[in-house]
C-alpha cells in the first residue's frame, strides 16, 4: 500500500496518465492530476473518486511557470507534501509525422518546449519540497524513440532523448539527497497519442495503458523487497 504517498501526475486526465492515477489511488496514495482539458480532467476525477480514491484535479498547462507554481502549491496545501512526481505530459509533435527534411524548426522547438523544458520546469518546482523532506522520486516518462533512429520520429525522439539525459543529470546532481530520478519507457500503448502517430491504422495490438501502471507503482513502493530491487537512481526502466 502507498497510503502515505502523495503523487503528482502531469497529463493525468487520459491515456497512461489516467491509468497511473487510478493505479496509485487504488493502492491508497493521494493523487494530484494536472491536464489542460477541463472536461477529460473532470471525467478522470469522477472515475477515480467513484472507486474510492482521493484525488485533486487541476486544469493547468504544465509548461507554463504560473500554472506549475499554482499546481504545486495547491498539492502541498491540500496534502502537505509531494512524494512522487511523474512527468507524463507530452506531445507527439508535428503531425502527420514529417521527415527531418520537412520538419519545421519552430515545430521542433515547440516539441522540446513541451516534452523537455516542461518536465524540467515541473521538476524544478517540486524538488525544493522533496529536498526539505529528504526523500522523493521523480519519474520521467520516455520512449524507445529516444534511443532508436526511427524515420519521421526526429522531433519527438530528440525531445525524449534530451529528457532522458536531463533525468540522468538530475540523478547525478541529487545523489545522496534521498531524492531519486528514473526514466521509464512504458512501451507502445493504446493511447490517443499513439493513434495520432498512426492515423487510420489499427493499434489494437498495442498494450493497454493499465498494463504499464504496476511498474510505476513498484518503483514508488517503500516495501522492503522493492527497496532492495528498486532501479538505481538515474536508471532507464523499460516496461
Residue 68 vs residue 198, higher pLDDT: 68
Residue 207 vs residue 211, higher pLDDT: 211
Residue entry with cell 467513484: 50
The closest of 102, 94, 68, 82 to 156, measured between CA atoms, is 94
Reply yes or no on whether 156 is catalytic. yes
CATH topology for 6-238? Rossmann fold (3.40.50)
- Stated as kind and residue range, the H or E segment containing 32 is strand 30-35
CB 83 within 8 A of CB 131: no
Determine the average pLDDT of the residues in 94-101. 92
Q: Does the pLDDT at position 182 exceed 90? A: yes
- What is the pTM assigned to this prediction? 0.92
CA distances from 92 to 43, 176, 237 (A): 23, 35, 21
Instruction: List, in order, residues 6 or more apart from 194 with CB less than 8 Å away.
Output: 188, 203, 206
CA distances from 75 to 79, 101, 112 (A): 6, 43, 26
pLDDT, the chain, mean: 91
Residue 12 vs residue 199, higher pLDDT: 12
pLDDT band at 207 (very low <50, low <70, confident <90, very high): confident
Burial of residue 59, with CB atoms counted within 10 A of its CB: 0-12 exposed, 13-18 middle, 19 or more buried: middle
- Domain ranges (residues) in the chain: 6-238
pLDDT, tens digit, for every residue of 20-44?
999 999 999 999 999 999 999 999 9
Q: Percentage of residues in the chain with pLDDT exceeding 70? A: 92
CA distances from 181 to 131, 141, 160, 219, 235 (A): 13, 11, 15, 11, 8
Residue 57 exposure: Cα atoms within 13 Å on the Cβ side: 26
Marked catalytic residue, from 24, 79, 156, 170 = 156
**pLDDT given at position 233:** 62
* Torsion, Cα of 191, 197, 198, 203 (10° steps): -20
Least confident of 82-86, 100-104, 146-150: 146-150
Amino acid at each position: 500500500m502507498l497510503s502515505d504517498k502523495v503523487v503528482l501526475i502531469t497529463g493525468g486526465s487520459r491515456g497512461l496518465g489516467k491509468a497511473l492515477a487510478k493505479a496509485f489511488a487504488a493502492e491508497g496514495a493521494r493523487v494530484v492530476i494536472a491536464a489542460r482539458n477541463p472536461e477529460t480532467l473532470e471525467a478522470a476525477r469522477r472515475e477515480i473518486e467513484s472507486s474510492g480514491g482521493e484525488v485533486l484535479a487541476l486544469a493547468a498547462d504544465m509548461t507554463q511557470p504560473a500554472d506549475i507554481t499554482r499546481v504545486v502549491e495547491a498539492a502541498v496545501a491540500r496534502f502537505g507534501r509531494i512524494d512522487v512526481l511523474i512527468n507524463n505530459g507530452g506531445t507527439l509533435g508535428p503531425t502527420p509525422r514529417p521527415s527531418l527534411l520537412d520538419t519545421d524548426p519552430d515545430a521542433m522547438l515547440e516539441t522540446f518546449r513541451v516534452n523537455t523544458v516542461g518536465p524540467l520546469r515541473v521538476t524544478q518546482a517540486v524538488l525544493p519540497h522533496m529536498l526539505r523532506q529528504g526523500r522523493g522520486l521523480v519519474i520521467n516518462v520516455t520512449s524507445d524513440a529516444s534511443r532508436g533512429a526511427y524515420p519521421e520520429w526526429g522531433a519527438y525522439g530528440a525531445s525524449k532523448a534530451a529528457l532522458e539525459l536531463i533525468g540522468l543529470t538530475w540523478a547525478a546532481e541529487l545523489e545522496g539527497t534521498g531524492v531519486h530520478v528514473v526514466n521509464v519507457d512504458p512501451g507502445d500503448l493504446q493511447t490517443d497519442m499513439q493513434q495520432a502517430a498512426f492515423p487510420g491504422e489499427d493499434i489494437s495490438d498495442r498494450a493497454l495503458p493499465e498494463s504499464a501502471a504496476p511498474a510505476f507503482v513498484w518503483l514508488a513502493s517503500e516495501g522492503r523487497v522493492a527497496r532492495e530491487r528498486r532501479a538505481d537512481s538515474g536508471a532507464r526502466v523499460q516496461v
